[in-house]
Amino acid sequence: MRRKYSATLAVTVVCLLAGCADEPRPWEDISGSRVRDLTNEEVVEIEQAEQKLIKACMTNEGFPYWEFPVPSIDERKSGNYVIESVRWAEAYGYGREFEKLGEKIRTSHRTTIYQNKLPKEGRVSYTRALDGDYRDRMTAKLPGKLGTVETPRGGCTNEARARLYGDAEIWYTTRRTVESALPLYAQALKQDERFTKALRQWADCMTRAGRPFDSPDDLRQKRAAAVEMMPDAEADAFDRKLAVTEATCAVESSLGKVIRDLENEYRARTLKPYSEQWDTYRKMRLHGLRQAQDAPS
Amino acid sequence: MRKRKFGSAAAVAALTGVAVLGFGPSASAETPGTCWDNYENAVSGYMSAYAQLNCDGFIGMAKGNDLNWADSSGSFRGGDATKASSVVNKGNYSEVKFYLGTGGNSTFHICLTRAEGFVRDLTDDYWLEDRTFGSVNNTIGSHRWVDRTSCSFYAV
């Protein structure tokens, strides 16, 4: 997909990549009550748009690239603290099919196969075209005292993000700040009485159901040990049954809802000193959504 | 790093959180070159671990999970569970979550995302970003591939 740009837009694009102090940031027109976080559906949409843009850039650079699939909403839920829905539990158990799918994509996707067949210098050129060059790095300071992280500048992944979100470096630093909040509230949340009460109710429910566990963490540890020796079909049946029990108790105790609500509360509080980044993060994502929806496909 | 005080071992065990591997506040990044070479040349789709800093001393690589780096099967075996001092993630789908000890479900875990690509020195990374829980260096005993959201949220 090649986009045609007018001269003005071309200038703007150059500014997105290089940074132009006088240009208004493209996400800044989103303000007030329009500022909100994205839904899961919208996140899938912008990630798919990002893949399309990476492909367009790589093609421009003379490299073949086939778009990677992006994780579905259900797949994203497999890392949740507790399974919230019986539907999900019945369909996926503990997400074994997502693990297999992920491994298959990582190793047999067309882009991976192409990349790995290249001779050494070709592989290096390809990686630099896609990921940038680490010798020129962007740094993001993580919130609290969590240190710093770095990523290469340049490359098609950054260019795709510049086109989508409005600025590659601001996107990286903002995203890293906001998405690294969990360690700062994890412990306090788990000590909150509302959480411990719901967890006790979940544990009591599990005991009444004949599957006693102290917590979903405890359950996952024991489940992993149990299924390791099982053949696939047995493991899948075991998983589904246990997952349905977990989810039923999560609904009965409201544990799923409680942790979701508490996370929203604790995250908002944790991000208060970073309100500018939180604001920018949401605006950039909304801008990305706008870009994704306007793009010719 | 903030120091946290806990009333009991049970309280510690009940606390879970996920952090992201990066540079500690006091670390400087003067020689990232070696790990970048490893990253550029690495096979796409795999993560790899090394016994020394700067991605020297290759231990092993994995396209799937290994819930026990200390046993005699999987991508990591035997003494690997007490060795990793630098790591690379060149997966193109999913991030890598490392765990303290074997089992893949330890209370203590930490993520390495694709955007960062590698960590050349695990000595200044701490489980749950807290010195109280010890350095990640030489203590990774298992790993899984996960979605990035599982490194930043309890509930997606």
Residues with Cβ within 8 Å of residue A182, at least 6 apart in sequence? B17, B18, B19, B151, B152, B153, B154
DSSP classification of residue B116: T
How many domains, in total, are found in chain B?
A: 1
Top residue of A107, A202, A218 to mutate, by most chain B CBs within 10 Å, is A107
Chain B stretch 44-83, residues whose beta carbon is closer than 8 A to a beta carbon of chain A: 44-46, 63-65, 67
Q: Nearest CA of chain A to the CA of B154: how many Å?
A: 5
**Residue B133 within a domain:** yes
Burial class (CB within 10 angstroms; exposed 0-12, middle 13-18, buried 19+) of A25? middle
Q: Nearest CA of chain B to the CA of A275: how many Å?
A: 18
Q: What totals of helices (H) and strands (E) does chain B contain, helices first?
A: 2, 8
CB contacts of A182 in chain B (<8 Å) are 17-19, 151-154
pLDDT in tens, A154-213: 999 999 999 999 999 999 999 999 998 888 898 899 999 999 999 999 999 999 999 999
Q: Phi/psi zone of residue B37: left (φ > 0), alpha (ψ -120 to 50 degrees), beta?
A: alpha
Under DSSP, is residue A82 helix (H, G, I), strand (E, B) or coil? coil
Quote the domain boundaries for residue B36: 17-22+30-151
d(CA A283, CA A26): 9
pLDDT score at B105: 72
Q: For residue B77, what is the domain's CATH number?
A: 2.60.20.10
Top residue of B5, B126, B149 to mutate, by most chain A CBs within 10 Å, is B149
DSSP classification of residue A103: H
Under DSSP, is residue A20 helix (H, G, I), strand (E, B) or coil? coil
The domains of chain A are located at 69-97+182-270
CB contacts of B36 in chain A (<8 Å) are 134-135
d(CA B17, CA B110): 8
Question: Is residue B15 within 8 angstroms of chain A, CB to CB?
Answer: yes
CB within 8 Å: A78 and B32: no
**Residue B89 within a domain:** yes
Nearest CA among B124, B89, B117 for reference residue B32: B117
The pairs formed by A218-223 with CB atoms below 8 angstroms and a separation of 24 or more are: A219/A246, A220/A94, A220/B105, A221/B103, A221/B105, A221/B106, A223/A94
Q: In Å, what is the CA distance from B112 to each residue of A118, A247, B44, B145?
A: 26, 29, 15, 10
pLDDT in tens, B6-61: 333 333 333 334 556 765 544 444 445 579 999 999 999 999 999 999 999 999 99
CB within 8 Å: B63 and A179: no
CB within 8 Å: B128 and A145: no
Identity of the residue in B22, B44, B46 whose CB atom sits nearest the CB atom of A142: B22
Q: Which two tokens stand for residue B30?
A: 């003067």
**Residue B98 within a domain:** yes
pLDDT score at A68: 97
pLDDT score at A183: 86
Q: How many CB atoms lie within 10 A of CB A73?
A: 13
Question: Is residue A71 within 8 angstroms of chain B, CB to CB?
Answer: yes
Q: What percent of chain A has pLDDT over 70?
A: 92
pLDDT score at A144: 77
Residues with Cβ within 8 Å of residue B135, at least 6 apart in sequence? B122, B123, B124, B125, B126, B127
d(CA B39, CA A124): 9
d(CA A58, CA A14): 17
Radius of gyration from C-alpha coordinates of chain B? 15
Chain A stretch 3-62, residues whose beta carbon is closer than 8 A to a beta carbon of chain B: 40
Identity of the residue in B29, B40, B145 whose CB atom sits nearest the CB atom of A128: B40
Give A284's strand partners.
none
| pLDDT (mean) for B102-107 | 79
pLDDT score at A58: 98
Q: How many CB atoms lie within 10 A of CB A11?
A: 13
Q: Which two tokens stand for residue B154?
A: 């309890």
Burial A225-234 (b: 16+ CB within 10 A, else e): eebeeeeeee
Question: Is residue A120 within 8 angstroms of chain B, CB to CB?
Answer: yes
d(CA A204, CA A174): 41
Burial class (CB within 10 angstroms; exposed 0-12, middle 13-18, buried 19+) of A208? exposed
Low-confidence stretches of chain A (pLDDT beneath 50) = 1-8
The whole-chain average pLDDT of chain B stands at 80
**Residue B2 within a domain:** no
CB contacts of B130 in chain A (<8 Å) are 183
